[in-house]
Chains A and B, each alone.
Chain A
């Protein structure tokens, strides 16, 4: 059976198994649990004490608690990833055996946070070497050991970027002569025109 929220693939077996565990919670508790899991996905951190309190009534063991959080995590992130609307998600979850009240609660939480979730996922997509900051300085060379009167401007550029493989901040310092810098600026302006044309 192909499910849209799994990206038109079969639903993983463990998700099927844990949906029945989810059904053991009351629908109110499940809605609160969804709110916690969504907070975690949006990067605000999850409060494990609250989660354990919510699942205490249904007498979940620690393995069950972890499984419930994992399955909710999977459903939300997978549905946001494949851009599933909440009605399709609702019908697919009911096909998998999640009771109607639980499904309505889950889909309502999903719908509220749908865009925020996709924004967060977009931010965490793979990006190599982000540019963090640029600083520059213009110097004027008066003379040097080679030539008594040089009289030329020189630009020093400092680029702070995130290393592609290491992920920590790397600093690159370059000095550019006036002509080279004019070429650099012209090419970057052309690239910017093309980028704006796309938007």
Chain B
């Protein structure tokens, strides 16, 4: 599929042929840093001073380049389609090749960054357990009550992988057996013919 670039986008990118190839590579690096960490106005000011153009033009150029990269990575367009989309801008062959190289080198990385953007449900991280036997309590002596204590660790919502929240649960052996059989039934459902038909079609 071809990317359709808006007029404003094309105008921003028209700054790129005015500078030489090394600078375009530098802009590419800045654009990727922008994706990873955000950017600071100092970088734009420094570049604008060195090239003798306004800060706004540099900023538009970098942002336009970044948008081009993210849109291309998002749709996973092939080399040919990328070149065709960029052809619309009327750049030189050399510039097109530089942009293509930038895209090929980084599209996997960009996709992994983009995939982290939508907020996640808390996800399973780890399960710790201990098996205890209650022998006596204040009210009743001479008991034998087996008990399983679980701590379910989840990776946090929206905090990325760093935050951990633990939920403490307790269960007796019969509930545990029921839990195990339910989970095994869920795993077995993946192997049913209905599920297999769907997986084949997704592939």
Contact = CB atoms under 8 A, between A and B. Distances in A.
B132 to A, nearest CB: 10
Contact of A165 (B128, B129, B138, B167): B167
Given A165-B166, A167-B166, A128 B149 contact: yes
Contact of A126 (B138, B149, B167): B149
Given A164-B168, A165-B168, A126 B129 contact: yes
Contacts of A127: 130
Contacts of A126: 128-130, 149, 151
Given A126-B128, A126-B149, A126-B151, A194 B168 contact: no
Interface of chain A, helix or strand or loop or mixed?
loop
Interface of A: 125-128, 164-165, 167, 187, 191, 194, 198
B136 interface: yes
A164 B151 CA distance: 9
Contacts of A125: 128, 130
B135 interface: yes
A126 B127 CA distance: 10
A126 B136 CA distance: 21
Given A125-B130, A126-B129, A194 B136 contact: yes
Nearest to B137: A191
**The 8 nearest A-B residue pairs measured at CB:** A126-B128, A126-B130, A164-B168, A194-B136, A126-B151, A187-B138, A165-B166, A165-B168
Contacts of B130: 125-127
Interface of chain B, helix or strand or loop or mixed?
strand
Interface residues of B, number: 13
Given A126-B129, A127-B130, A164-B168, 10 more contacts: A125-B128, A125-B130, A128-B149, A128-B168, A165-B165, A165-B168, A167-B166, A187-B138, A194-B136, A194-B141
Nearest to B138: A187
A78 to B, nearest CB: 16
A31 B128 CA distance: 31
Interface string B126-167: 001110000110100100000001010000000000000111
19 contacts: A125-B130, A126-B128, A126-B130, A126-B149, A126-B151, A127-B130, A128-B149, A128-B151, A128-B168, A164-B168, A165-B166, A165-B167, A165-B168, A191-B136, A191-B138, A194-B135, A194-B136, A194-B141, A198-B135
Contacts of A165: 165-168
A167 B168 CA distance: 11
Contacts of B151: 126, 128
Nearest to B128: A126
Contacts of A198: 135
Contacts of B168: 128, 164-165
B103 to A, nearest CB: 26
A59 B178 CA distance: 49
B203 to A, nearest CB: 22
B137 to A, nearest CB: 9
A161 to B, nearest CB: 14
Nearest to A128: B168
Contacts of B167: 165
Interface in B94-153: 128-130, 135-136, 138, 141, 149, 151
B168 to A, nearest CB: 5
A155 to B, nearest CB: 20
A187 B136 CA distance: 12
Contacts of B136: 191, 194
A139 B165 CA distance: 40
Nearest to B130: A126
